[in-house]
Amino acid sequence: MSGGNGSNKLWGGRFGGAPSEIMEHINASIDFDRRLYTQDIAASQAHCAMLVETGIISSADGAAIEKGLAQILSEIDAGELNVDPKLEDIHMHVESRLTEIIGEAAGRLHTARSRNDQVATDFKLWVRDAIDGIDRALADFQRALLAQADQHAETVLPGFTHLQVAQPVTLGHHLLAFVEMAGRDRGRFADARTRLNESPLGAAALAGTSFPIDRQATAKALGFERPAANSLDAVSDRDFAIEFLAAAALCATHLSRLAEELVVWSSAQFGFVSMSDGFSTGSSIMPQKRNPDAAELIRAKTGRIAGALNTLLMVMKGLPLAYSKDMQEDKEPVFDAADSLGLCLAAMTGMVRDMTVNTEAMLASAATGFSTATDLADWLVQNLDMPFRQAHHVTGALVKLAEDKGCDLPDLLLEDMQSAEPGITAQVFDVLTVERSVASRTSEGGTAPARVREAINKWKERLA
């Protein structure tokens, strides 16, 4: 909405002319910050109540403002926001509409605050809500992993290092690794939430205000732990958004690692898992194809989320105190990353929950690549009192012998074993099966099914 000279009624008193059309376009943020409307109205309601309580505005004006804000919230919820680029952002849209509804009293709402502390407050509230939603999604993801881990606590598959067969592990143990990662992700988001939970409201433009406001009251009304301690920092801080993006980028990286495994595992060459119809696509030319597109898109969106973190770091890196218009660029990367991560979590949770495990293919693969070589070396140490380095050398020689014979370690004859170490007895074959191998890994945090079930039960208790 413009005045007679084309300047903005909400800030145009200093200006004799209107901004250019290009300036209006680059300056406007309503296309994306309209998402803050719930938080903006909630913060305005808290601010209004405090202004009445402290006697800064009358109770009659406060009641009119409160009623008008409630009406605006209802209108926007119903999709009735009339966007005017000249009004720049969601804050000015709300104030302009409030003026239309209640008249001059609307102008009193902005007493003792600035758009600087207003937007910082709104954005913190939005990020806090986003963290709460992501935490719930991560918990659902953990439950999906635990359900599969519980079902496959004894299912054997090859454990890899360098994408080479290393030692047999259980699928339950493998999936629990991602439960642990998701647990750390939840911890990082929780830490970020704790640090952000200080209210900028009342910092005004940068220096505080001369009005006798009660920042404790507005902080409490909005669920903050306390007011931010320094007004300059309060309006210029975007650490909370950067921390959110850092946690999101690492969380997405974890999802991408699992996505990569599902892509590999569902290939014909591995055949470890089959993805459900709900999370697969076909080919326009090759009728036999079943593509794990959801997993591949999660891999790709991880770059998008990490890019959002880098974007905001670059926005903030050279800004002097306090507020600069550069900071208008903080919201789009955060909104996009939050949307992308939420979608990735939902897709990965669905894929894990619906996937079918080919236990036979996993077991057959686990028995290849001399995966029980370490068990043989451990047997030599435990039964022949051999130093581990010597046992490692003997085992290496037996692996070479098996390679030459075109067989695996359990297929060697006893005399073959004794050609490398005469002390070896027939008992050695008891430890060379993959089932015995995983069952023997009973150290804390190990892959033995008994340990896996212990870990599953502990996580179920934590998630309950």
- pLDDT class for 370, splitting at 50, 70, 90? confident
- pLDDT class for 430, splitting at 50, 70, 90? confident
Is the pLDDT assigned to residue 246 strictly greater than 70? Answer: yes
Give the strand pairing for 226-227 and 198-199: parallel
Catalytic residue among 162, 210, 284, 443: 162
Catalytic residue among 59, 74, 283, 324: 283
3-class DSSP assignment, residue 293: helix
The phi and psi torsions of 165 (rounded to 5 degrees) equal: -60, 130
Is the pLDDT assigned to residue 105 strictly greater than 70? Answer: yes
236 is catalytic: no
Task: Among 77-86, 154-163, 201-210, name the one with the lowest average pLDDT.
Answer: 77-86
Residues 6+ apart with CB under 8 A from 11: none
pLDDT, position 3: 36
pLDDT in tens, 22-41: 877 787 777 778 899 999 99
- pLDDT class for 285, splitting at 50, 70, 90? low
Question: What percent of the chain has pLDDT above 90?
Answer: 78
Say if CB 37 and CB 73 are below 8 A apart.
yes
pLDDT, position 160: 93
- pLDDT class for 19, splitting at 50, 70, 90? low
pLDDT mean across residues, the chain: 92
Question: What percent of the chain has pLDDT above 70?
Answer: 94
162 is catalytic: yes
Is the pLDDT assigned to residue 194 strictly greater than 50? Answer: yes
Say if CB 36 and CB 74 are below 8 A apart.
no
